[in-house]
Amino acid sequence: MAQAIRKKPLSKTVNAAVSARIVAQDHFRTLRLGTPFQPRIDALAKTQDWYNWAGYRAPNSLWNEELEYFAIRSQAAVFDISPMTKYRIEGPDAEAFLDRVTLRDVAKLRPGRVHYTAWCDDEGFVLDDGTLFRLSPTRFRLCSQERHLPWLLDSAIGFDVSVAEETEAVAGLALQGPTSFAVLRDAGFAGVEKLKIFDLADLPHDGGTVGISRTGFTGDLGYELFVPADRALSLWDRLMTAGQLRGIRAIGYTALNRARLEAGLIVANADFTTAEHAIRADRLRLPDEIGLGFMIDLQKGHFNGRRAILEARAKRKLRHVLVGLEIDGNIPAEHAIVYHKKSQEVGLVSAAMWSPMAKRNIAIASLARPYGDTMVEDLWVEIYAMRELQHQKLMKRAKVVARPFIKLDRRTANPPADF
């Protein structure tokens, strides 16, 4: 016993770092965190229909998933995007670093602009897609579905740049729909009318600023707002007050997911499997295989995966293609198998719906080349529609069509309209 006391491991002077660490222990009691907007969302959550978004308690719906969709297309919908992974990338070499990591030419991304991009591992397989915000000449924010800190830090070796994860510190809101501009203007965000699509500005809010960009995930007129977590609630209240006469509604993911599908946008780990999560090696995807080939800029210098992508293109080793499909009838073909000549299996639908805006039965599918690429005739999907405990098996013709499935002029109109 005497020996045990002498060897006592608990150090007497617990330093600040250790006590901060110990304070953080109790996270195990809350497996699904609330976002900074949670008090407001909880108050509106009539359906209590939650899902787990990266460890956060996020709503599938708040009052009615179908009506929430129409709020996006007719009024202004507020969707909490705080759980999205966010990295702050800063330093004299930030541009060069991001040029090296991502597919697009970051030199072309001016301060105050946003672009949709993707990044690959050394074999050219897509690690994730996301949006890159250029906040200043030397400061960026990268938003993504999955987490990439080790990849970013390892890639930063040799660059004068710092990379910090700021998911919890920064709250995010998407404000989408025809009246979204009017809401922001009525809320007093002077200058927001100058924002063209993919523009970004810091505007005053609650003694600080809010970063507002004309971006979104709906294919509609819309904005995304980023604010320090401690000013999240005042931002919410400001929007809701201003939006009262503009039909503003908070929505859940199901409605947003419909809007994004109409816009032809893909979701990581829903429409493709990200490289760091693909356990089966044949699930890995090159950018060209998931419709992101347009991002690749071969004029810029070296970027991660460049060599592999070039080789795959040269040797015609691209095995898959991601396409938009228009399917006969009105039954959604979610996760249906795609056939050639009704017999040969050539791919899988990853997302599907009846589009209220296009009045067409649409889908996103991954096909094995050459199907969907050079062979686009005679494609079919086999839909198993469960109706009162019976599968109604349908074989429906599918046509490869361009994405987005809908194009709304109000999305890009300048100046933005009131509705």
Partner 1 sequence: MARQIGLCHAKFRAFGNRSRKNEERVAREDWAKMKAWDAIIIGGGHNGLVNACYLQRAGLDVLVIEKNDWVGGAATSRELTPGFLYSNCSYVCSLFRPEIMRDLELPRFGLQVISYEGGAVFTRDGDYLANYRDHDAHRREFARFSKRDAEAYDRYARDVTRQCRFIQPLLMRTAPDPTSLRPRDLGELLYLGKKFAGLSAPEMALTLRFWTMSISEFLDEYFETDVIKANFALSGIIGTALGPMSPGTAYVLLHHYMGEVDGSVGAWGYARGGMGAVTKALAASFKASGGTIRTGAEVDHVLVGRGKAKGVVLAGGEEIFGKLVVSNADVKRTFLKLVEEKELPDVFLRRVRNFKIRGSSGKVNIALDSLPEFPALPKDSPVYRGDMHFTDSMERMERAYDDWKAGRWSADPFLDMVIPTTLDPTMAPPGKHFMSCFVQYAPPRIAGAEWTDADRDGFAESVISQIAEYSPGFRDRIVHMEVRTPREIEAEVGLTEGNIFQGELTFDQLLFNRPVPGYAQYRSPVGGLYMCGSSTHPGGGVMGAPGRNAAAEILRDLAKSTSHMSAAHDVI
Q: Is residue 146 at the binding interface for partner 1, with CB under 8 A as the rule?
A: yes
Residue from 148, 214, 238, 396 that binds partner 1 (CB under 8 A)? 148
Residue from 16, 28, 315, 377 that binds partner 1 (CB under 8 A)? 28
Give, as ranges, the residues between 43 and 72 that touch partner 1 (CB under 8 A).
52, 54-55
To partner 1, the closest distance from the beta carbon of 76 in angstroms equals 31
To partner 1, the closest distance from the beta carbon of 10 in angstroms equals 5
Give CA–CA dist 326/406, Å, rounded.
12
Give, as ranges, the residues between 161 and 180 that touch partner 1 (CB under 8 A).
165
Instruction: Name, in order, each residue with C-beta under 8 angstroms of 37's C-beta and a sequence gap of 6 or more.
Output: 80, 82, 171, 173, 232, 233, 236
Alpha helices in 302-353 (DSSP H): 306-314
To partner 1, the closest distance from the beta carbon of 140 in angstroms equals 18
Alpha helices in 48-196 (DSSP H): 65-74, 94-101, 149-155, 180-186
> Is the Cβ of residue 53 or residue 181 nearer to partner 1 in the bound state?
53
Give CA–CA dist 132/145, Å, rounded.
13
Residue 225's nearest CA partner among 84, 17, 21, 66 is 84
Q: Is residue 10 at the binding interface for partner 1, with CB under 8 A as the rule?
A: yes
Residue 242 C-beta-side C-alpha neighbours within 13 Å: 21
> Is the Cβ of residue 31 or residue 314 nearer to partner 1 in the bound state?
31
Residue from 113, 139, 147, 410 that binds partner 1 (CB under 8 A)? 147
To partner 1, the closest distance from the beta carbon of 375 in angstroms equals 27
End-to-end, the C-alpha distance of the chain in Å comes to 78
Residues β-bridged to residue 76 = 248
Instruction: Name the 3-class secondary structure at 120.
Output: strand
Residue 70's nearest CA partner among 172, 156, 178 is 178
> Is the Cβ of residue 32 or residue 115 nearer to partner 1 in the bound state?
32
Cβ atoms of residues 105 and 292 within 8 Å? no
To partner 1, the closest distance from the beta carbon of 366 in angstroms equals 18
Instruction: Name the 3-class secondary structure at 127.
Output: strand
Q: Is residue 4 at the binding interface for partner 1, with CB under 8 A as the rule?
A: yes
Distance from CA of residue 408 to its chain's centroid?
20
Q: Tokens for 319?
A: 């095995």
> Is the Cβ of residue 267 or residue 278 nearer to partner 1 in the bound state?
278
Q: Is residue 21 at the binding interface for partner 1, with CB under 8 A as the rule?
A: yes
Residue from 11, 299, 374, 390 that binds partner 1 (CB under 8 A)? 11
To partner 1, the closest distance from the beta carbon of 300 in angstroms equals 26
Cβ atoms of residues 333 and 381 within 8 Å? yes
Point out which span in 25-33, 59-67, 228-236, 285-293 binds partner 1 (CB under 8 A). 25-33
Point out which span in 11-19, 190-198, 234-242, 253-261 binds partner 1 (CB under 8 A). 11-19
Q: Is residue 153 at the binding interface for partner 1, with CB under 8 A as the rule?
A: yes
Give, as ranges, the residues between 106 and 125 that touch partner 1 (CB under 8 A).
123
Residue 69 C-beta-side C-alpha neighbours within 13 Å: 15
Q: Is residue 348 at the binding interface for partner 1, with CB under 8 A as the rule?
A: no
Give, as ranges, the residues between 262 and 291 that touch partner 1 (CB under 8 A).
276-279, 281
Residues touching partner 1, count (CB under 8 A): 36
Give CA–CA dist 306/297, Å, rounded.
9
Count, residues in the chain:
419
Q: Is residue 22 at the binding interface for partner 1, with CB under 8 A as the rule?
A: yes
Give CA–CA dist 68/286, Å, rounded.
35
Residues that bind partner 1 (CB under 8 A): 1, 3-4, 7-11, 14, 18, 21-22, 24-29, 31-32, 52, 54-55, 123, 146-150, 153, 165, 276-279, 281
